[in-house]
Amino acid sequence: MKLFKSTSIFVLSLLLAQLGWQCKGDSKDAKPETMEQSAPITRIEKSAYGNLPDGSHVAKYTLRNASGMEVDIISLGGIITRWTAPDRNGVFKDIVLGFDSLQPYVEDNPFFGALVGRYGNRIAGGQFTLDGESYSLARNNGANHLHGGIKGFDKVLWEAFPGRETDRARLMLDYHSPDGEEGYPGKLDVRVVYTLTDDNALEIDYQAVTDKPTVVNLTNHSYFNLSGDFTHDILDTELQLNADAYLPVDTGLIPTGEIRPVAGTPFDFTTPKTIGRDVEADDPQLRVGGGYDHCWVLKREGPGLAPAATAYHRESGRLLQVSTDEPAVQFYIGNFLDGHLPAKGGGSYGKRAGFCLETEHYPDSPNRPEFPSTRLDPGQIYRSRTVFAFSTR
Protein backbone atom coordinates (compact mmCIF):
# COMPACT_ATOMS: atom_id res chain seq x y z
CA MET A 1 0.00 0.00 0.00
CA LYS A 2 1.17 3.52 -0.73
CA LEU A 3 2.60 5.47 2.22
CA PHE A 4 0.51 8.48 3.24
CA LYS A 5 1.74 11.95 4.04
CA SER A 6 0.79 11.80 7.71
CA THR A 7 1.61 9.19 10.32
CA SER A 8 -1.95 8.94 11.62
CA ILE A 9 -3.47 8.08 8.26
CA PHE A 10 -0.71 5.50 7.74
CA VAL A 11 -1.61 3.90 11.06
CA LEU A 12 -5.25 3.87 10.01
CA SER A 13 -4.23 2.30 6.70
CA LEU A 14 -2.43 -0.49 8.50
CA LEU A 15 -5.50 -1.08 10.65
CA LEU A 16 -7.71 -1.34 7.58
CA ALA A 17 -5.23 -3.64 5.86
CA GLN A 18 -5.42 -5.94 8.87
CA LEU A 19 -9.17 -5.98 8.38
CA GLY A 20 -8.67 -7.21 4.81
CA TRP A 21 -9.33 -3.96 2.94
CA GLN A 22 -6.96 -4.40 0.00
CA CYS A 23 -6.58 -1.35 -2.18
CA LYS A 24 -4.48 -0.21 -5.11
CA GLY A 25 -2.95 3.26 -5.14
CA ASP A 26 -4.18 5.47 -7.95
CA SER A 27 -1.83 6.76 -10.60
CA LYS A 28 -1.55 10.47 -11.27
CA ASP A 29 -2.43 10.31 -14.96
CA ALA A 30 -6.00 10.51 -16.22
CA LYS A 31 -5.71 7.61 -18.65
CA PRO A 32 -8.85 5.46 -18.72
CA GLU A 33 -8.28 2.29 -16.77
CA THR A 34 -10.49 -0.73 -16.08
CA MET A 35 -9.83 -2.97 -13.09
CA GLU A 36 -11.53 -6.26 -13.80
CA GLN A 37 -12.78 -8.48 -11.01
CA SER A 38 -13.14 -12.29 -11.12
CA ALA A 39 -16.75 -11.65 -12.15
CA PRO A 40 -16.09 -9.65 -15.32
CA ILE A 41 -19.10 -7.39 -15.06
CA THR A 42 -18.27 -6.22 -11.53
CA ARG A 43 -15.53 -3.64 -12.03
CA ILE A 44 -14.23 -0.11 -11.60
CA GLU A 45 -13.34 2.08 -14.56
CA LYS A 46 -11.30 5.25 -14.28
CA SER A 47 -11.54 8.13 -16.74
CA ALA A 48 -10.72 11.84 -16.93
CA TYR A 49 -13.39 14.26 -15.72
CA GLY A 50 -11.67 17.63 -16.26
CA ASN A 51 -9.24 20.07 -14.71
CA LEU A 52 -9.63 22.55 -11.87
CA PRO A 53 -8.64 26.22 -12.36
CA ASP A 54 -5.21 25.47 -10.84
CA GLY A 55 -4.64 22.72 -13.39
CA SER A 56 -5.27 19.81 -11.04
CA HIS A 57 -6.77 16.74 -12.71
CA VAL A 58 -10.14 15.39 -11.57
CA ALA A 59 -10.75 11.72 -12.18
CA LYS A 60 -14.05 9.86 -12.45
CA TYR A 61 -14.53 6.32 -11.18
CA THR A 62 -17.44 4.25 -12.42
CA LEU A 63 -18.41 1.41 -10.09
CA ARG A 64 -20.42 -1.33 -11.81
CA ASN A 65 -21.98 -4.40 -10.23
CA ALA A 66 -23.23 -7.70 -11.60
CA SER A 67 -26.83 -6.47 -11.46
CA GLY A 68 -26.18 -3.57 -13.85
CA MET A 69 -26.15 -0.70 -11.34
CA GLU A 70 -23.55 2.01 -11.94
CA VAL A 71 -22.27 4.72 -9.61
CA ASP A 72 -19.98 7.52 -10.86
CA ILE A 73 -17.77 9.18 -8.24
CA ILE A 74 -15.25 11.95 -8.89
CA SER A 75 -12.11 12.73 -6.92
CA LEU A 76 -13.31 16.30 -6.31
CA GLY A 77 -15.34 16.17 -3.12
CA GLY A 78 -15.93 12.44 -3.46
CA ILE A 79 -19.04 13.54 -5.36
CA ILE A 80 -21.52 10.98 -6.65
CA THR A 81 -22.34 12.45 -10.05
CA ARG A 82 -24.50 9.60 -11.39
CA TRP A 83 -26.23 6.60 -9.86
CA THR A 84 -28.43 4.29 -11.90
CA ALA A 85 -31.16 2.07 -10.48
CA PRO A 86 -33.70 -0.22 -12.18
CA ASP A 87 -37.46 0.23 -12.16
CA ARG A 88 -39.81 -2.73 -11.73
CA ASN A 89 -39.40 -3.52 -15.46
CA GLY A 90 -35.61 -3.58 -15.22
CA VAL A 91 -35.09 -0.19 -16.88
CA PHE A 92 -32.13 1.66 -15.38
CA LYS A 93 -32.22 5.42 -14.92
CA ASP A 94 -30.03 7.94 -13.15
CA ILE A 95 -31.69 8.79 -9.80
CA VAL A 96 -29.42 11.51 -8.33
CA LEU A 97 -29.19 15.20 -9.16
CA GLY A 98 -25.91 16.55 -10.48
CA PHE A 99 -24.26 18.07 -13.53
CA ASP A 100 -23.01 16.87 -16.91
CA SER A 101 -19.54 18.39 -16.49
CA LEU A 102 -17.05 19.54 -13.87
CA GLN A 103 -17.44 23.32 -14.12
CA PRO A 104 -20.85 23.66 -12.40
CA TYR A 105 -19.55 21.63 -9.45
CA VAL A 106 -16.78 24.18 -9.06
CA GLU A 107 -18.88 27.30 -9.60
CA ASP A 108 -22.33 26.86 -8.06
CA ASN A 109 -23.11 23.57 -6.39
CA PRO A 110 -25.61 23.01 -3.54
CA PHE A 111 -23.55 20.00 -2.35
CA PHE A 112 -24.97 17.69 -5.04
CA GLY A 113 -23.72 14.18 -4.19
CA ALA A 114 -20.78 15.42 -2.11
CA LEU A 115 -18.93 14.20 0.93
CA VAL A 116 -19.59 16.82 3.59
CA GLY A 117 -17.20 17.77 6.39
CA ARG A 118 -15.60 18.51 8.68
CA TYR A 119 -19.05 19.14 10.06
CA GLY A 120 -22.19 18.24 8.17
CA ASN A 121 -25.11 20.60 8.76
CA ARG A 122 -25.05 23.88 10.71
CA ILE A 123 -23.08 25.31 13.61
CA ALA A 124 -24.70 28.37 15.16
CA GLY A 125 -22.86 31.66 14.76
CA GLY A 126 -19.92 29.91 13.12
CA GLN A 127 -18.27 29.25 16.44
CA PHE A 128 -17.92 26.74 19.26
CA THR A 129 -15.85 26.20 22.39
CA LEU A 130 -13.77 23.12 23.10
CA ASP A 131 -11.84 22.65 26.36
CA GLY A 132 -12.27 26.34 27.13
CA GLU A 133 -10.90 27.57 23.80
CA SER A 134 -13.14 29.29 21.26
CA TYR A 135 -12.96 28.51 17.56
CA SER A 136 -14.33 30.70 14.79
CA LEU A 137 -15.51 29.13 11.55
CA ALA A 138 -16.60 30.57 8.23
CA ARG A 139 -20.13 31.98 8.25
CA ASN A 140 -21.27 30.72 4.87
CA ASN A 141 -24.99 30.35 5.62
CA GLY A 142 -26.19 33.69 6.88
CA ALA A 143 -24.78 34.06 10.38
CA ASN A 144 -24.06 30.35 10.62
CA HIS A 145 -21.52 27.79 9.47
CA LEU A 146 -22.78 25.13 7.04
CA HIS A 147 -21.32 21.83 5.78
CA GLY A 148 -17.68 22.53 6.58
CA GLY A 149 -17.40 26.10 5.37
CA ILE A 150 -16.30 27.93 2.26
CA LYS A 151 -13.94 25.16 1.15
CA GLY A 152 -15.19 22.08 2.93
CA PHE A 153 -14.55 18.46 2.05
CA ASP A 154 -16.93 18.80 -0.91
CA LYS A 155 -14.48 21.17 -2.66
CA VAL A 156 -11.13 19.43 -2.14
CA LEU A 157 -9.35 16.73 -4.13
CA TRP A 158 -9.33 13.32 -2.49
CA GLU A 159 -6.68 10.68 -3.15
CA ALA A 160 -8.32 7.62 -4.68
CA PHE A 161 -7.57 3.92 -4.21
CA PRO A 162 -9.71 1.57 -6.32
CA GLY A 163 -10.31 -1.75 -4.56
CA ARG A 164 -10.41 -5.33 -5.85
CA GLU A 165 -12.98 -7.88 -4.74
CA THR A 166 -14.91 -10.66 -6.44
CA ASP A 167 -18.46 -9.51 -5.77
CA ARG A 168 -18.18 -5.78 -5.17
CA ALA A 169 -16.61 -2.63 -6.55
CA ARG A 170 -14.87 -0.47 -3.98
CA LEU A 171 -13.36 3.00 -4.02
CA MET A 172 -11.37 4.31 -1.05
CA LEU A 173 -10.82 8.06 -0.76
CA ASP A 174 -8.33 9.76 1.57
CA TYR A 175 -7.96 13.39 2.56
CA HIS A 176 -5.59 15.14 4.97
CA SER A 177 -7.17 18.22 6.52
CA PRO A 178 -4.51 20.47 8.10
CA ASP A 179 -4.81 22.03 11.54
CA GLY A 180 -6.89 25.21 11.31
CA GLU A 181 -8.51 24.41 7.96
CA GLU A 182 -11.79 26.37 7.81
CA GLY A 183 -11.15 27.23 11.48
CA TYR A 184 -11.28 23.69 12.88
CA PRO A 185 -8.64 22.56 15.38
CA GLY A 186 -6.28 19.66 14.78
CA LYS A 187 -4.99 17.76 11.81
CA LEU A 188 -7.68 15.39 10.60
CA ASP A 189 -6.97 12.39 8.39
CA VAL A 190 -10.13 11.10 6.77
CA ARG A 191 -10.91 7.92 4.88
CA VAL A 192 -14.22 7.27 3.10
CA VAL A 193 -14.94 3.96 1.37
CA TYR A 194 -17.70 3.54 -1.20
CA THR A 195 -18.62 -0.11 -1.80
CA LEU A 196 -21.14 -1.16 -4.44
CA THR A 197 -22.44 -4.69 -3.83
CA ASP A 198 -23.99 -7.04 -6.35
CA ASP A 199 -27.39 -6.76 -4.63
CA ASN A 200 -27.66 -3.03 -5.47
CA ALA A 201 -26.52 -1.58 -2.15
CA LEU A 202 -24.02 1.25 -1.82
CA GLU A 203 -22.19 1.11 1.51
CA ILE A 204 -20.43 4.25 2.74
CA ASP A 205 -17.89 3.86 5.54
CA TYR A 206 -16.25 6.88 7.15
CA GLN A 207 -13.18 6.95 9.40
CA ALA A 208 -11.04 9.75 10.79
CA VAL A 209 -8.22 10.34 13.27
CA THR A 210 -6.90 13.58 14.77
CA ASP A 211 -3.85 14.87 16.62
CA LYS A 212 -5.78 17.22 18.93
CA PRO A 213 -9.39 17.45 20.18
CA THR A 214 -11.77 18.49 17.42
CA VAL A 215 -15.34 17.94 16.20
CA VAL A 216 -16.36 15.71 13.29
CA ASN A 217 -19.71 15.00 11.62
CA LEU A 218 -19.41 13.45 8.15
CA THR A 219 -22.17 12.60 5.69
CA ASN A 220 -23.05 12.29 2.01
CA HIS A 221 -25.33 14.89 0.42
CA SER A 222 -26.91 13.09 -2.54
CA TYR A 223 -30.22 14.43 -3.85
CA PHE A 224 -32.48 11.56 -4.92
CA ASN A 225 -35.25 11.57 -7.50
CA LEU A 226 -36.49 7.99 -7.76
CA SER A 227 -38.57 8.72 -10.85
CA GLY A 228 -35.40 9.19 -12.89
CA ASP A 229 -37.08 12.24 -14.46
CA PHE A 230 -35.46 15.43 -13.17
CA THR A 231 -38.30 17.59 -14.52
CA HIS A 232 -40.60 15.77 -12.07
CA ASP A 233 -40.64 16.87 -8.43
CA ILE A 234 -40.37 14.39 -5.57
CA LEU A 235 -43.64 15.20 -3.81
CA ASP A 236 -45.27 11.93 -4.95
CA THR A 237 -42.50 9.82 -3.41
CA GLU A 238 -43.66 7.90 -0.34
CA LEU A 239 -41.41 8.22 2.69
CA GLN A 240 -41.18 6.49 6.03
CA LEU A 241 -38.73 7.59 8.73
CA ASN A 242 -37.80 5.47 11.72
CA ALA A 243 -38.21 8.42 14.06
CA ASP A 244 -40.72 9.47 16.71
CA ALA A 245 -39.20 12.93 17.21
CA TYR A 246 -37.49 15.74 15.35
CA LEU A 247 -35.55 18.91 16.16
CA PRO A 248 -37.46 22.19 15.75
CA VAL A 249 -35.32 25.06 14.43
CA ASP A 250 -35.14 28.84 14.66
CA THR A 251 -35.22 31.22 11.71
CA GLY A 252 -31.60 30.38 10.92
CA LEU A 253 -32.45 26.66 10.81
CA ILE A 254 -30.49 26.07 14.02
CA PRO A 255 -32.04 23.59 16.50
CA THR A 256 -33.72 25.28 19.44
CA GLY A 257 -32.70 22.44 21.76
CA GLU A 258 -36.17 20.95 21.95
CA ILE A 259 -36.73 17.35 20.88
CA ARG A 260 -40.37 17.38 19.75
CA PRO A 261 -42.59 14.32 19.16
CA VAL A 262 -43.78 14.04 15.56
CA ALA A 263 -47.20 12.65 16.52
CA GLY A 264 -50.01 14.89 15.30
CA THR A 265 -47.69 17.08 13.20
CA PRO A 266 -46.75 17.25 9.49
CA PHE A 267 -43.40 15.79 10.55
CA ASP A 268 -44.89 12.38 11.30
CA PHE A 269 -43.45 9.87 8.82
CA THR A 270 -43.70 6.90 11.17
CA THR A 271 -45.99 5.31 8.58
CA PRO A 272 -45.48 5.82 4.84
CA LYS A 273 -46.96 8.92 3.25
CA THR A 274 -46.12 11.01 0.23
CA ILE A 275 -43.63 13.79 0.83
CA GLY A 276 -46.13 16.29 -0.55
CA ARG A 277 -49.12 15.28 1.55
CA ASP A 278 -48.50 17.71 4.43
CA VAL A 279 -45.73 19.92 3.10
CA GLU A 280 -48.05 22.91 2.61
CA ALA A 281 -49.68 22.54 6.05
CA ASP A 282 -50.01 25.65 8.19
CA ASP A 283 -47.15 24.80 10.52
CA PRO A 284 -44.58 27.37 11.77
CA GLN A 285 -41.72 24.92 11.33
CA LEU A 286 -42.60 24.33 7.68
CA ARG A 287 -42.69 28.07 7.10
CA VAL A 288 -39.25 28.51 8.67
CA GLY A 289 -37.63 25.93 6.40
CA GLY A 290 -39.72 26.56 3.31
CA GLY A 291 -40.70 22.91 3.66
CA TYR A 292 -38.88 19.99 5.23
CA ASP A 293 -35.27 20.80 6.16
CA HIS A 294 -35.04 19.28 9.63
CA CYS A 295 -33.25 16.65 11.63
CA TRP A 296 -35.18 13.55 12.74
CA VAL A 297 -34.05 11.62 15.83
CA LEU A 298 -33.84 7.96 14.90
CA LYS A 299 -35.19 5.16 17.07
CA ARG A 300 -32.29 2.95 18.03
CA GLU A 301 -31.67 -0.10 20.20
CA GLY A 302 -27.95 -0.24 20.81
CA PRO A 303 -25.03 0.32 18.41
CA GLY A 304 -24.69 -0.80 14.82
CA LEU A 305 -26.81 -0.39 11.73
CA ALA A 306 -30.49 0.41 12.22
CA PRO A 307 -33.26 1.38 9.76
CA ALA A 308 -33.40 5.09 9.09
CA ALA A 309 -35.64 5.69 6.07
CA THR A 310 -37.58 4.03 3.28
CA ALA A 311 -38.50 5.91 0.10
CA TYR A 312 -40.77 4.45 -2.58
CA HIS A 313 -41.74 5.78 -5.98
CA ARG A 314 -44.97 4.01 -6.83
CA GLU A 315 -44.99 4.69 -10.57
CA SER A 316 -41.51 3.28 -11.23
CA GLY A 317 -41.46 0.77 -8.39
CA ARG A 318 -38.05 1.94 -7.17
CA LEU A 319 -37.57 1.39 -3.45
CA LEU A 320 -34.70 2.91 -1.43
CA GLN A 321 -33.95 1.67 2.08
CA VAL A 322 -31.42 3.53 4.22
CA SER A 323 -29.78 2.12 7.32
CA THR A 324 -27.11 3.74 9.48
CA ASP A 325 -25.32 3.69 12.81
CA GLU A 326 -25.82 7.46 13.14
CA PRO A 327 -28.34 8.88 15.66
CA ALA A 328 -30.21 11.10 13.20
CA VAL A 329 -31.10 11.89 9.61
CA GLN A 330 -31.53 15.32 8.04
CA PHE A 331 -34.41 15.18 5.58
CA TYR A 332 -34.30 18.01 3.03
CA ILE A 333 -36.48 18.35 -0.08
CA GLY A 334 -34.66 20.87 -2.27
CA ASN A 335 -36.65 23.88 -1.09
CA PHE A 336 -33.93 26.25 -2.28
CA LEU A 337 -33.62 24.89 -5.81
CA ASP A 338 -35.03 27.65 -8.00
CA GLY A 339 -34.47 26.65 -11.62
CA HIS A 340 -31.14 28.37 -12.24
CA LEU A 341 -28.95 25.26 -12.04
CA PRO A 342 -28.54 23.18 -15.22
CA ALA A 343 -29.92 19.66 -15.03
CA LYS A 344 -28.24 16.59 -16.46
CA GLY A 345 -29.47 15.99 -19.97
CA GLY A 346 -30.84 19.52 -20.38
CA GLY A 347 -33.26 21.86 -18.64
CA SER A 348 -32.81 22.98 -15.06
CA TYR A 349 -33.55 21.81 -11.53
CA GLY A 350 -36.79 23.22 -10.17
CA LYS A 351 -37.92 23.49 -6.59
CA ARG A 352 -38.11 20.09 -4.88
CA ALA A 353 -36.51 18.21 -7.75
CA GLY A 354 -34.69 16.01 -5.25
CA PHE A 355 -34.65 14.95 -1.61
CA CYS A 356 -31.72 14.31 0.72
CA LEU A 357 -31.37 11.79 3.55
CA GLU A 358 -28.23 12.94 5.34
CA THR A 359 -27.35 10.44 8.05
CA GLU A 360 -25.45 12.28 10.78
CA HIS A 361 -25.25 13.62 14.32
CA TYR A 362 -27.46 16.54 15.29
CA PRO A 363 -26.83 20.05 13.92
CA ASP A 364 -25.01 22.44 16.28
CA SER A 365 -23.95 19.63 18.62
CA PRO A 366 -20.66 21.38 19.52
CA ASN A 367 -22.77 24.10 21.17
CA ARG A 368 -25.30 21.70 22.69
CA PRO A 369 -23.81 19.48 25.41
CA GLU A 370 -27.17 17.74 25.78
CA PHE A 371 -26.91 16.45 22.18
CA PRO A 372 -24.88 13.33 21.26
CA SER A 373 -21.23 14.38 21.17
CA THR A 374 -19.32 14.96 17.94
CA ARG A 375 -15.98 15.32 19.75
CA LEU A 376 -12.99 13.33 18.50
CA ASP A 377 -9.81 13.03 20.59
CA PRO A 378 -6.31 11.82 19.73
CA GLY A 379 -6.09 8.06 19.95
CA GLN A 380 -9.72 7.59 18.96
CA ILE A 381 -11.00 6.55 15.52
CA TYR A 382 -14.15 8.22 14.25
CA ARG A 383 -16.35 5.66 12.53
CA SER A 384 -19.66 6.00 10.75
CA ARG A 385 -21.51 3.73 8.34
CA THR A 386 -24.55 4.14 6.10
CA VAL A 387 -26.04 1.76 3.54
CA PHE A 388 -28.32 2.80 0.66
CA ALA A 389 -30.07 -0.33 -0.66
CA PHE A 390 -32.21 -0.37 -3.81
CA SER A 391 -34.87 -2.83 -4.85
CA THR A 392 -38.28 -2.75 -6.58
CA ARG A 393 -41.83 -3.71 -5.82
What is the Cα–Cα distance from 163 to 196, expressed in whole angstroms? 11
What pLDDT is attached to residue 142? 94
Show the domains of the chain with their CATH numbers.
Answer: 7-392 (2.70.98.10)
What is the Cα–Cα distance from 303 to 294, expressed in whole angstroms? 23
Task: List pLDDT tens digits, range 118-145.
Answer: 999 999 999 999 999 999 999 999 999 9
Closest C-alpha to 353, from 366, 343, 363: 343
Q: Is the pTM of this model over 0.85?
A: yes
Task: List pLDDT tens digits, range 47-101.
Answer: 999 999 999 999 999 999 999 999 999 999 999 999 999 999 999 999 999 999 9
Q: Are strands 168-177 and 188-197 parallel, antiparallel or unpaired?
A: antiparallel
Closest C-alpha to 258, from 250, 269, 268, 267: 250
In the DSSP assignment, the letter for residue 255 is B
Do residues 320 and 388 touch, judged by C-beta distance below 8 A? yes
Query: What pLDDT band is residue 164 in, cutting at 50, 70 and 90?
Result: low
What is the Cα–Cα distance from 362 to 254, expressed in whole angstroms? 10
Active site residues: 221, 358
Residue 32 clears pLDDT 60, i.e. is over it: no
Query: What pLDDT band is residue 166 in, cutting at 50, 70 and 90?
Result: confident
Average model confidence (pLDDT) for the chain? 91
Task: List pLDDT tens digits, range 199-240.
Answer: 999 999 999 999 999 999 999 999 999 999 999 999 999 999
Structure-model confidence comparison of residues 40 and 132, the more confident one = 132
Task: List pLDDT tens digits, range 343-357.
Answer: 999 999 999 999 999
34: which residues sit within 8 A by CB, 6+ positions away? Answer: 43, 44, 45, 46
Amino acid letter, residue 124? A
Residues in a beta bridge with 64 = 43, 70
What pLDDT is attached to residue 71? 98
What is the Cα–Cα distance from 215 to 134, expressed in whole angstroms? 13
Do residues 270 and 278 touch, judged by C-beta distance below 8 A? no
What is the Cα–Cα distance from 380 to 388, expressed in whole angstroms? 27
The predicted model gives 315-322 an average pLDDT of: 98
From the CB of residue 92, how many other CB atoms can be counted at a distance below 10 Å? 14
CA dihedral 90, 219, 312, 309 (to 10 degrees): 130
